[in-house]
Amino acid sequence: MVRICFDTNVIVAGLLENHEMHSVCRPWIERAKGKEFQALVLML
């Protein structure tokens, strides 16, 4: 299975509807929830 690593910026943008990158990030979060790939979160 493919693994994709998200940093926290993608998570925040995907969750906040008023974020300027929400429309780009949200579909990736939805795809991860649908188990299309294994999502990892990078926290530094």
Grouping H, G, I as helix, E, B as strand and the rest as coil, residue 31 is: helix
pLDDT band at 43 (very low <50, low <70, confident <90, very high): confident
Give the per-residue pLDDT at 13.
97
The predicted model scores a pTM of 0.86
Average pLDDT over residues 13-34: 97
Cα–Cα dist 26/8, whole Å: 13
pLDDT band at 44 (very low <50, low <70, confident <90, very high): confident
With 80 as the cut, is the pLDDT of residue 8 above it?
yes
Please name which of 6, 24, 4 lies closest in space to residue 14, comparing C-alpha atoms: 24
The amino acid present at 7, given as its one-letter code, is D
**CA–CA distances in Å: residue 16 to residues 3, 11, 36:** 24, 9, 22
- 25-39 pLDDT, tens digit each: 999 999 999 999 999
